[in-house]
Structure 1
């Protein structure tokens, strides 16, 4: 029979092991990518091997600095986690505080290096750039992709080399082209915006009047087909096209079936003469 003293000792060791597991800062599976760049607003935990008194949990300031015991303020904004670990360890060593410091940084909460996605996407919001080489397609995937009501163009805006940056990117071209040269890298604080897709309108003697999305290269005939074609009283040879010119004045013309539609065109299907 096991003695009560042995059982108490075994239970005590078991509890200690459980507490150690709960206190463990992060597993390898939970660890962020090593090339993640620390940014303003990120919360980190700095641990120094065999120096628990130097362990801190702090937030990266707007200037990219953190305050570490013994060495004071140190700039780590824009550095990868491994580079930040090396920089803090070097500062501890050159300052004469530790001989061979081993520093480990755990990313507790991501608040820096964010990119915004707005407009006609499934999940608009702000998303962290967890790796350094995040591209436009990666960010669109984070936002759940473009909604059916979204345009085929995404507008990328931000700052490059201290100057305002703006680029219109063809979304299908990112996947259909042999070389997606427009699948550029995004940077912290960039904004991606997907506008509502352009539409045209059809009314009169059409089977299904209403607004419809304009597909690329859509003709009047294809637009008429989107509305189900003319009713028994209508005629595809008696169409009127209402289009606003550059001055904002609506012009009325008689289109051919092969004419290309433009955003906000209005097709009016008139009654047949017979």
Structure 2
């Protein structure tokens, strides 16, 4: 019984140690995900019971603010809590305030931004307000993909001093067995997300609804004709031709089967039956 009691105590202590490790890991993760102040950010610094030390200012291009009594304080690149501690330590070490309680509020985000261009509903520059912003978060800020937009995204930027160009297949980000962390990458300052237009196929001739149409993934010739309302009474399947531009710019004329796939830019022509 005594041995069992000791084993139970050890188990409880072990779980407590694991809980402490988990809490420490969560705290470290939260600290890593904290927003980093950057040039252009507007901040307000408040010191409890010291209204004369309240300051509202913009972070300079060099990451510095000019603070009363302390002079230039470099907070660029720091998280909010680290910037608060830096100012508090300066006030305490300079014997200006005995126990300073410093609060820094981020009023306007300008230092860390990313751009979204192309076929989105609200293209433009958007602030990176959290360090864990991902491609889908940035795309949501831009209002999502427009009706003319496709599934292919291109992310450009810098990582570790080297240029980054990453092609992202948007549907695969949400696929059941996808590694979302690998495809839905973290956004960093200066990144540009490009949303390409949707692929288009053109259909004309003896069809009910001729004109351009969105080419869905894996679409066959039969599906294209169905999307065009089908053939007219004068149309014939034997008169269907697909005009496709090759890599050298020359146009090839083909007579594909109905279950053959079509490609972006294809022109489907349905001839009139002679009988």
Q: CA RMSD in A?
A: 1.5
Quote the Cα distance in structure 2 between the aligned partners of 1:173 and 1:94: 54
Quote the Cα distance in structure 2 between the aligned partners of 1:120 and 1:95: 55
Quote the Cα distance in structure 2 between the aligned partners of 1:87 and 1:130: 21
Correspondence for 2:44: 45
CA displacement, residues 187-218 of structure 1 (integer Å, 9 cap, x when unaligned): 11211111111101000111111001111111
Q: CA deviation at 1:100?
A: 2.3
Q: Please give the residue correspondences for 1:151-230 in structure 2 after superposition, counting only pairs within 5 Å.
A: 151-178=150-177, 179-180=179-180, 181-230=182-231
Q: CA deviation at 1:57?
A: 1.2
Q: Please give the residue correspondences for 1:74-223 in structure 2 after superposition, counting only pairs within 5 Å.
A: 74-178=73-177, 179-180=179-180, 181-223=182-224
Q: How many residues align?
A: 241
SS in 1 for 2:183: coil
Query: Residue 109 of structure 2 contacts residue 128 of structure 2 at CA under 8 Å; is this kept in 1?
Result: no
Query: Residue 222 of structure 2 contacts residue 259 of structure 2 at CA under 8 Å; is this kept in 1?
Result: yes
Query: Residue 115 of structure 2 contacts residue 192 of structure 2 at CA under 8 Å; is this kept in 1?
Result: yes
Quote the Cα distance in structure 1 between the aligned partners of 2:238 and 2:197: 31
Quote the Cα distance in structure 2 between the aligned partners of 1:88 and 1:237: 80
SS in 1 for 2:231: coil
SS in 2 for 1:224: helix
SS in 1 for 2:165: strand
Quote the Cα distance in structure 2 between the aligned partners of 1:58 and 1:154: 37
Correspondence for 1:16: none
Quick check: 1:65 aligned with 2:75? no
Quote the Cα distance in structure 1 between the aligned partners of 2:93 and 2:191: 37
Q: CA deviation at 1:50?
A: 2.7
Correspondence for 1:241: 242
The structure with the greater share of residues assigned to helix is 2
Quote the Cα distance in structure 2 between the aligned partners of 1:50 and 1:108: 21
Query: Residue 120 of structure 2 contacts residue 145 of structure 2 at CA under 8 Å; is this kept in 1?
Result: yes
SS in 2 for 1:186: coil
Unaligned runs of 5+ in 1: 1-33
Quote the Cα distance in structure 2 between the aligned partners of 1:166 and 1:65: 32
Scaled by the length of structure 1, the TM-score of the pair is 0.84
Unaligned runs of 5+ in 2: 1-32
SS in 1 for 2:40: coil
Quote the Cα distance in structure 1 between the aligned partners of 2:133 and 2:80: 17
Correspondence for 1:30: none
Correspondence for 1:19: none
Q: CA deviation at 1:145?
A: 1.2
Correspondence for 1:258: 259
CA displacement, residues 148-195 of structure 1 (integer Å, 9 cap, x when unaligned): 210101111111111111111111111123332301111112111111
